[in-house]
């Protein structure tokens, strides 16, 4: 399978290659079978790589590592106890300074919940989510306008050079992770104000437009990400002003320039799905100009729900996992 | 797994139940393992149910039925020979009048192609596609307008009472299958003219807006469908006029009325994905009013590409299939 993939890779369009890049774990890593399901309260909430497993095995009173899965000790009952036990381990590992992802400690907690009903199980620092392959939720805003001569134009931001992840890379207009205690629209409104000074009447024009899901892997860890997408048509005279120091600069690009930017190594790989989805929904990327159109649309919506909730997973883990 | 599903079914929102209904094969049938991959030219192009297999077994010189798969005789070389051999079998079965799907013979051929590179393998009558579980492609147009007081309004069509499939049911504004020899945008333009008299300057406003994929099953067969979606903002004074006799009537509905219509038994189940996708992209269905928003978005883009191109399939079939 791998040989066929590499053989055919050169036949893919540039956009397809990009869609395969931000799904590198979905397309190759997932089927290698070297990651183990991470079980909390009887639910698979993540996947753990061997390099992380090696560290967790040192805490057998917290993480039960079997041949088939890693389980958070089921003796821990409730959100608070689970959160505190995991936090203790993470703080120990953080002090040892050996795990790349934990060097970017955020002091901002993300929630871990059950796959289908979003029952809260525990929370952990944002930097650790990728170590456990936990589903990660964020919001992104496409800020755009229709220029009389240039057509569809899109505001992009360059991330601050001091950001912990992807410093200096080009990114969507506005985006942010869903932190504990914040709603989805609420996060979009908060981030639009902080990152680009979109406030007042303007922020009321945010239109929820779907979500994209993909499964990326980097040295830091696994990223089964879902981004809730909002579109925002901006006035011609609006110039975004950053208010929280997390943005280096903003730039207004034509749709074609946006594609070239997204294809360049200067673009944050995990933000490309939002941009491609936007350009598809606006008709700029379409079946007439993109030979692998439906393949790309499929790669913008990979079945994370099914991956973490499959009958296979149930059979493998529930028997001895509870 | 099944018990859990039925137990939890009542907790789903009405829209989630609808999304699960048009994916009934994806969510339950697929994992039962009673359908066999259908192989043509070394590629899996479909899935065949036991009730169809029973008929195909009577033609061993055309269909090789093994324990693991059904293969079109690999001795047939090229598009024409494959097409003619399959057509002979279908004509025989059609005369016997025992297969429900073939009673709706269309005299319109759909193409069967390889999963990734769309290399043409053969064509067969549209009515037979669902017997072999072959991927089915169509176009759909969302005809809409933004009413000053009623907000988003959508034109729906009622299918003619004499249509071979889903007679009298409510459907999207305009839609049609991709027949052999027609392009995607070309089909959208042709169908918009025939079904609703959208022509001239108006048809130039068609905006390609993505595609939806789902996997439905009915008594007739299997429907792994992908619909290329176009949006068309219509003038207030435009009244659609049917030109080909395939439409009973048109009606302009508010977004809320559209949802109620889609949830009713009077709506064509396999057209609901296009409508839900439209209402999500327009922000009418959003994360604040739909608790299973991301689950629904996932069910509007199920991974048909992966299902018919999985390493599992390769391992199972290629060994003795070629």
DSSP B106-133: -S-EEEEE-TTT--EEEEEEGGGGGGTT
Of B207, B288, B294, nearest to A226 by CB-CB distance is B294
DSSP state letters, A276-299: HHHHHHTTSS-TTT-TTHHHHHHH
Average pLDDT over residues A199-213: 97
Q: Crossing angle for the helix pair A272-281 and A255-263, nearest 10 degrees?
A: 150
Under an 8 A CB cutoff, do A1 and B311 touch?
A: yes
Q: Which residues of chain B does A229 touch, with a Cβ-Cβ cutoff of 8 Å?
A: none
Q: Indicate the class that CATH gives domain B136-299.
A: alpha beta
The pLDDT value recorded for residue B9 is 52
- Facing B301 at nearest CB: one of A8, A184, A297: A297
Among residues 156-195 of chain B, which lie with CB inside 8 Å of chain A? 183-185
> In Å, how far is A61's CA from the nearest CA of chain B?
30
Tell me, yes or no, if B312 comes closer than 8 A to chain A by beta carbon.
no
pLDDT at B11: 67
pLDDT of res. B319? 35
List the single residue in A1, A184, A294 with the smallest CB-CB distance to B226: A294
The pLDDT, as a whole number, for residue B31 is 84
- Please tell me which residue, A311 or B120, carries the higher pLDDT value: B120
- At residue B184, the pLDDT reads 97
Which residues in A lie closer than 8 A to residue B294 (C-beta atoms)?
211, 213, 226, 228, 305
Q: What is the pLDDT of residue B305?
A: 87
Instruction: Please judge whether B303 and A300 are an interchain contact, meaning their C-beta atoms are less than 8 angstroms apart.
Output: no
Residue A231's φ and ψ, nearest 5 degrees, are -105, 145
Query: Which residues on adjacent β-strands are paired with residue A224?
Result: A215
Q: Which of A149, A141, A156, A148 is nearest to A257 (CA)?
A: A156
How many angstroms separate the CA atoms of B261 and B310, rounded?
Answer: 37
Average pLDDT for consecutive 10-residue bins of chain B (322 residues)?
47 91 94 92 94 96 95 96 97 95 92 85 96 97 97 98 95 95 96 97 98 97 97 97 96 97 98 98 97 95 85 36 32
pLDDT recorded at residue B1:
39
- In chain A, the percentage of residues whose pLDDT exceeds 70 is 93
Instruction: Please check whether residue A1 touches B, CB under 8 A.
Output: yes
Using CB atoms, which residue from A207, A287, A305 is nearest to B184? A287
The ipTM (two decimal places) reads: 0.91
| Average pLDDT of chain A, as a whole number | 91
> Residues near A224 by Cβ (< 8 Å), separated by ≥ 6?
A25, A47, A133, A134, A135, A136, A213, A215, A304, A307, A308
Dist. CA A39–CA A45, nearest whole Å: 6
Tell me how far apart the alpha carbons of residues A232 and A217 are, in angstroms, rounded to a whole number: 30
* DSSP β-ladder status, A136-147 and A174-177: antiparallel
Residue A169 has pLDDT above 90, yes or no: yes
Q: Does residue A3 belong to the interface with chain B, where contact is any CB pair within 8 Å?
A: no
List of chain B residues whose C-beta atoms are within 8 Å of the C-beta of residue A308 = none
Q: Tell me how far apart the alpha carbons of residues A84 and A307 are, in angstroms, rounded to a whole number.
A: 28
CA A261 to chain centre: 19
The rounded distance, in Å, linking the Cα atoms of A152 and B180 is 34
Predicted confidence at residue A9, as pLDDT, reads 52
> For residue range A110-161, what is the model confidence (pLDDT) as tens digits?
999 987 777 899 999 999 999 999 999 999 999 999 999 999 999 999 999 9
Is the pLDDT at A322 greater than 60? The verdict is no
Residue B235 has φ and ψ, to the nearest 5°, of -65, 155
Q: Is B11 on the interface with A (CB under 8 A)?
A: yes
A33 touching chain B per CB within 8 A: no
Residues forming CATH 3.90.79.10 domain(s) in chain A: 136-299
Helix (H, G, I), strand (E, B) or coil at B289: coil
Distance CA B138, CA A29 (A): 33
**CA–CA gap between residue A217 and residue A123 (Å, rounded):** 22
Dist CA B98 CA B57 (whole Å): 15
Q: Which CATH number fits domain A34-133: 3.30.750.160, 3.30.450.30, 3.40.710.10, 3.90.226.10?
A: 3.30.750.160
Q: How far is A209 from chain B (nearest CA, A)?
A: 4
- Judged against a pLDDT cut of 70, whether residue A2 lies above it is answered with no
pLDDT surpassing 60 at residue A41: yes
List the end-to-end C-alpha distance of chain B, in Å, as a whole number: 35
Q: What is the pLDDT of residue A308?
A: 84
What is the rounded average pLDDT of the residues A200-222?
97
Q: How far is CA B39 from the centre of its chain?
A: 20
pLDDT on residue A12: 78
Q: Where in chain A is the domain with CATH 3.30.750.160?
A: 34-133
The nearest alpha carbon in chain A to B300 belongs to: A301
Q: What is the pLDDT of residue B33?
A: 87
In this prediction, residues A7-32 reach a mean pLDDT of 86
Question: Which ranges of chain B would DSSP assign to H, the alpha helix?
Answer: 2-8, 14-21, 24, 30-32, 50-56, 78-96, 184-196, 200-203, 255-263, 272-281, 293-299, 304-307, 311-321
């Amino acid at each position: 399978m791998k040989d066929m993939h590499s053989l055919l890779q050169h036949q893919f369009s540039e956009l397809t290659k990009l869609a395969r890049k931000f799904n590198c774990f979905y397309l190759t890593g997932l089927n290698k079978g070297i990651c183990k399901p991470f079980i909390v309260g009887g639910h698979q909430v993540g996947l753990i790589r061997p390099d992380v497993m090696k560290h967790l095995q040192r805490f057998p009173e917290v993480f039960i590592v079997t041949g088939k899965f890693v389980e958070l000790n089921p003796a821990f009952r409730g959100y608070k106890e689970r959160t505190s036990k995991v936090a203790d381990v993470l703080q120990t590992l953080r002090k040892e300074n050996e795990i790349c992802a934990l060097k970017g400690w955020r002091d901002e907690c993300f929630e871990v919940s059950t796959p289908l009903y979003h029952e809260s199980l525990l929370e952990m620092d944002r930097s650790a989510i990728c170590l456990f392959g936990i589903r990660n939720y964020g919001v992104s805003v496409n800020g755009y306008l229709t220029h009389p001569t240039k057509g569809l134009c899109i505001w992009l931001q360059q991330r601050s050079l001091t950001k912990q992840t992807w410093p200096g890379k080009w990114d969507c207009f506005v985006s942010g992770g869903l932190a504990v205690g914040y709603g989805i629209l609420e996060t979009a409104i908060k981030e639009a104000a902080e990152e680009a000074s979109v406030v007042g009447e303007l922020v009321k024009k945010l239109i929820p437009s779907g979500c994209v899901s993909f499964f990326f892997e980097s040295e830091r860890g696994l990223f089964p990400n879902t981004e809730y997408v909002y579109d925002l048509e901006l006035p011609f005279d609006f110039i975004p002003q950053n208010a929280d120091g997390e943005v280096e600069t903003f730039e207004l690009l034509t749709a074609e320039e946006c594609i070239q930017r997204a294809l360049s190594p200067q673009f944050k790989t995990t933000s490309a799905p939002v941009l491609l989805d936007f350009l598809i929904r606006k008709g700029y990327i379409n079946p007439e100009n993109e030979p692998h159109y439906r393949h790309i649309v499929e790669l913008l919506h990979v079945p994370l729900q099914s991956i973490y909730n499959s009958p296979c997973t149930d059979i493998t883990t529930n028997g001895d996992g509870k």
